[in-house]
Amino acid sequence: MISELKDDLILIKEDLASLELVSKEKDAVIDCLSAEMTRLKDESGTKFYLMVDAIMGFDEKLPDYGIGLTLGTRVGNSLMLEAGADYMLGSSKADLLDFSMEDLTFRAGLGWMF
């Protein structure tokens, strides 16, 4: 009877060790899936962005420089909205000091991210 109990205890101990190993493996899988879910959640949803642009064009065959600013957002996973303004500074130092509304351009955009 004591030997039977001893054998039963050995089997129970082996079963417990096996269950602990399976539990650790499942915990590792759960941790991996949880990290992946967090990463995917961070990549989706609404995100904002700000861009500063350098612009170069030509006016009477001379380089004409400008700057631009764009503010945009991604709504959900795909819809993109943006608004911006560009200002052409000119090609000489004198042009930099001469502000003109004619050199200002506003723009808006709508896009879809694939």
In the block, tokens 């991604």 appear at 74
Cα–Cα distance measured from residue 9 to residue 48, given in angstroms and rounded to the nearest whole number: 62
Q: For the chain, state the CA radius of gyration.
A: 32
What pLDDT digit, counting tens, does each position of 38-53 carry?
A: 888 777 778 899 999 9
pTM of the complete model: 0.59
Closest-CA residue to 63 (of 95, 86, 97, 85) = 95
What pLDDT digit, counting tens, does each position of 63-92 carry?
A: 888 999 999 999 888 899 999 999 998 876
